[in-house]
Amino acid sequence: MIKKLLKDKKILLLIFSVTISILIIAVKGLYFGVDFSGGSIIVLKAEKPMNDQELQLTLEILKKRLDITGLSGIEIYPRGNQEIVVVVPASENAQKIINIIKHQGVFVAKIDNITVYTGKDVAKVYEPSKIPTESGWAYGVEFELTMDAAKRFAEIAKGKAYHKVELYMDGKLISAPVLSPELATGKPEPRQVITVGKYPPTEQEKEEALAIYSALKSGALPVKLDVEYIYIQYLQNLEML
């Protein structure tokens, strides 16, 4: 009988999942007061202990990112001064939420390795959308710079048509559009764009654009966060077997 059960992939998956969950609980413990009615708990760990101001700002930015992307029913609270606990209901996609909150959100644009603007220079951000390009349609995020940043960009970009504008998020190159002749005249142009792929986008490109949009809209976190571990409630899975 036992051998027969062990051949069932669902039973094996359940045993593995429960074992991992028990090990996590044994090592990390649970935060009392959380209603485990299904869903996931994501624990984020800061690269260093945060002071009260950094902790408060981190919580505000994370909540803002979730609010502006339309996600609801998600609880966020600190555990000590280096961990953030995110409680995700079963109705929400935990991986999508991780993609949105894991970015520190440090945004930098460079031309020929010269910084032309950063996330602090972004005055307005538009929701991910279909964007016209010289070669057709693309999908991405449009945003506007402050006038001071637009002037600085124009000065550096002048005479550099067809040079690449390298856009970095947390040190990772996320887009490298070619500078059009219209943007290389020396005239300030606040409107900028980050493209993540051709239109129509894949689901992965949609999530990538949403993460970029939320990071630019909410601003950069004061510290870098990593996913320490994820606890998933398996009672619902047990009921389905």
Q: What is the pLDDT of residues 131-190, one digit of tens each?
A: 998 889 999 999 999 999 999 999 999 999 999 999 999 999 999 999 999 999 999 999
Length of the chain: 241
- pTM attached to this predicted model: 0.80
Q: What's the pLDDT score for residue 147?
A: 97
pLDDT digits (tens, 9 = 90+) for 91-109: 888 889 999 998 999 999 9
Which domains are present in the chain? 2-104+221-240 (3.30.70.3400), 107-218 (3.30.1360.200)
Both tokens of 229, joined, read 């571990």
**5-39 core/surface letters (b: 16 or more CB in 10 A; e: else):** eeeeeeeeebeeeeeeeeebeeeeeeeeeeeeebb
d(CA 24, CA 46): 19
Which alpha helices (H) appear in 69-202, and where do they start and end? Answer: 94-101, 147-157
Average of per-residue pLDDT values in the chain: 86
Query: Is residue 36 predicted with pLDDT exceeding 60?
Result: no
Strands (E), 27-82: 39-46, 75-79
Distant-in-sequence, close-in-space partners of 185: CB < 8 Å, separation ≥ 6 = 154, 158
